[in-house]
Structure 1
C-alpha cells in the first residue's frame, strides 16, 4: 500500500500546484486508461495521474520478472492503479469483523468425507462476480453471496440478491453504508425485517440512499446465523456440508490490490487483523497433489478483471493464513 508519508506529500502537492508528471510514462498511461476505460475531467486526470505514477513506480520496483510478486503470485497495474492506499482501504471493513462466540451460534462439527477439490460454482451455487465500485460494502456482497448459495440449496433457483437493499436499510444493525459494515449485523437485518429483495427489483447503485425495501418483494429470509470454529478443519467441514461460507481476511496490502493470479502470498498478512469480507466457494491445489500447494478459493467483489476472473487463491492448511478461518459464518434459511 502507499505510505502515509507519500499521501501527505501528495495532498500538499495537489493543494499548492498541479502535479508534475514523468512524460516517459505517457504511452503506458494512455494504454492503461484505454484498457480500463478510464475517463476523467482535466483536473481529476492530473491528480489520478500522479497517484498512478507513484503506484507504477512501486509496481515496477517490486514486481520482478513477468509480474511475479513472491512465490509465483502475479500482480499487475489493474483498474485500481489510480487509487491511493487509503481509497482502497475504504473499500474494506474499517474495523474488525464481529466474531460469533455465543455457544448456541457455533456450528457443530461432524466428520465428513474430504474430497480432493471442491468448487461450488460448478454445482450452481454461485452468481457471477460483481463490482462494489468505490463503495466499501464487501460485507454486503459476502452476505448476499452466502444467501444466494443457501437459497439455491433450498429451492434449486439461483437468484442474484440485492446488495443495495442491505446498504440502504441495515444501518440500525451495525452497518454504515459505504463506510463500514459487519456481516452478522446484515444477517440480523434480514432476519428481523422479513427478508431481502432480489437485485432485479432493488439494483445496486454503489451509494447510500433512503431505504426502499418492500416486504412483498422479498425472495429470501434468515432463521439464524452460525459461526464456524476458528480452525481450517472446521471451515472445511462447513464448506463441504453447507455450501459457500463468508470469510474475512487481512487484505490491507498492495499485493492484494494488484493480485492477478496464483496462490496469494503476503509476508505481512496477519490472522487477527480482519478488514475484508469475501465468499469462500471451494478449495483445491496447484501442480501435483504431493507438492502441497493447497488453496482456498474465494470470490471477491472487485469485478471480473481483478484476480483470477474475480477470484483469489489463499494458502490452505498454513496456520490460518491471513485469518481465513478466524471469522467464518453462514446463514440458515
Structure 2
C-alpha cells in the first residue's frame, strides 16, 4: 500500500543530518502505524497520540542516523511517552545495592562454553506478553523456574509453562506488589515456601492484580532454593548461564530499550544499580565481525540473549563484557529444583 512505502522510506537511515519531514509524511506514517497495530482513538486522543508518535519517530531517526550498534524502530508502543512506558511496563526503580548479601553468591566454574542458547536445548518456553502490567519480575522468575524444572533429572523433564499470575496474586506477603512491581528472588521465596507454582494453563495471565487462587493439584514445578551470581560480575553470570537460564534485573528506563529493534543493545546512560525491569538471560554469543588487532579498542560484539516481551521476536541482545551494562549482572539469580 502507498502509506507503507512511505513509512519504509522514512525509516531508512542515513549517516548525514536528520531529515526534515513534512506534516503529510508524519501523518502518512502515523496512519500506517495505526493500521498495522490496530489502533484507534477519539478525536481528542488522536492529536495527543499523533504528537507523541512524531516525537518518538524523530528520536528513533536521530538515534539511527548516528550509526549505533543498536538499531531502533517503531513498535506497538510508539504512541506512548517514556513516562507512560515506565509506568505501564516497568517496576518501581530500586537501589539494588540494598539487596547485596541476602543470599549466598557462587561462581560455579571458570570453564565456559564459547556460546550458550538454552532455546536450542528446549529449556525456554514461548515469549509471553506482560501487557500493561509491571509484572516483568514474575515473567523472569517463571522463566528461570521453567528452565530449572526442564533441566532437572538430566533434562528428561517436560518443559512446562508456569503461571505469572500465580506469582502476581500470591507473593505479596513476601514483598512483591503485583502489577506495581516486584523482586525476582521474592518470587522464588514464595515458590519455596508455598511448595510449588501452578501451570500457566491452569492459572492464566490476566494482566492485573487478583486474589490468590493457587491449587496444589495444578502445580507445575517446585524448587528447593536459589542462587545469586556474584554482585556485578559478568563472569559469574556467564558461569551461571552455563547451568541454567538466569533471571536478571536491569535498568530499562530509556527510550532506546523501549524501541529496540535489532543489533546489540548498548545505552551509555544506563544505571548499573538503579534497576526497574526483569528479563531472562537464556544464553550469550558473539556477533560476526572482523577481528581486531591487539592495538585496537576492545571488541564490543559479545552479547547476552535476554528474553523480554518485545524486541527481536521477543528477545534483546544486550551488550556483554562491557562493564555490567544496564546492571545485567547486578541482581541475577536462578532456582535449584
Per-residue CA deviation, residues 223-281 of structure 1 (Å, 9 max, x unaligned), is 112111121111111111x2100111111111110011111121111212211110011
User: Match of 2:227, SS?
Assistant: strand
> Where does 1:304-319 land on structure 2 (aligned, <5 Å)?
306-319=310-323
Which residue among 330, 333, 336 is the counterpart of 1:329?
333
Q: Aligned to 1:328, what secondary structure does the other structure show?
A: strand
Q: Shift in Å at residue 43 of structure 1?
A: 4.4
Q: CA RMSD in A?
A: 2.0
Following superposition, the deviation at residue 37 of structure 1 comes to 2.1
Alpha-carbon distance between aligned partners in 2 of 1:110 and 1:27, rounded to the nearest angstrom: 54
Question: C-alpha separation between the residues in 1 aligned to 2:334 and 2:193?
Answer: 17
Query: 1:151-162 to 2 correspondence within 5 Å?
Result: 151-154=149-152, 155-162=156-163
Is 1:297 the counterpart of 2:305 in the alignment? yes
Whole-angstrom CA distance in 2 between matches of 1:208 and 1:110: 37
Normalising by structure 1, we get a TM-score of 0.85
Cα distance in 2 for residues equivalent to 1:159 and 1:269: 34
CA deviations 1:160-180 (Å, max 9, x no partner) are 111111111111111111111
Partner of 1:50: 51
Deviations 1:138-190 (A, max 9, x none): 10000010011011012521111111111111111111111111111111111
What does the per-residue CA deviation read over 1:108-161, in whole Å, with 9 as the maximum and x for residues that have no partner? 324353222110100001011111111001100000100110110125211111
Q: Does 1:101 align with 2:109?
A: no
Following the alignment from structure 1 to structure 2, what is the Cα–Cα distance between the partners of residues 201 and 325?
33
Q: Distance in 1 between matches of 2:215 and 2:43?
A: 42
**3-state DSSP class of the match of 2:311?**
coil
Mapped partners of 1:271, 1:70: distance in 2: 24
Number of residue pairs the alignment of both structures matches: 302
Matched, 1:77 2:85: no
State the match for 1:247 in structure 2: 248
* Aligned residue in 2 for 1:115: 113
What is aligned with 2:198? 197
CA distance in 2 between partners of 1:106 and 1:70 (Å): 42
CA contact (8 A) 2:266 2:325 kept: no
Q: CA deviation at 1:42?
A: 4.4
Equivalent of 1:127 in 115, 119, 125: 125
Which range is displaced more, 322-331 or 91-100?
91-100
Farther-moved stretch of structure 1 (159-168 vs 54-63): 54-63
**How does 1:206-285 map onto structure 2 within 5 Å?**
206-230=207-231, 231-240=233-242, 242-285=243-286
The answer on whether the counterparts of 1:274 and 1:323 sit within 8 Å (CA) in structure 2 is yes
Q: Which runs of 5+ in 2 are unaligned?
A: 1-22, 293-298
Higher deviation after alignment, 277-286 or 306-315: 306-315
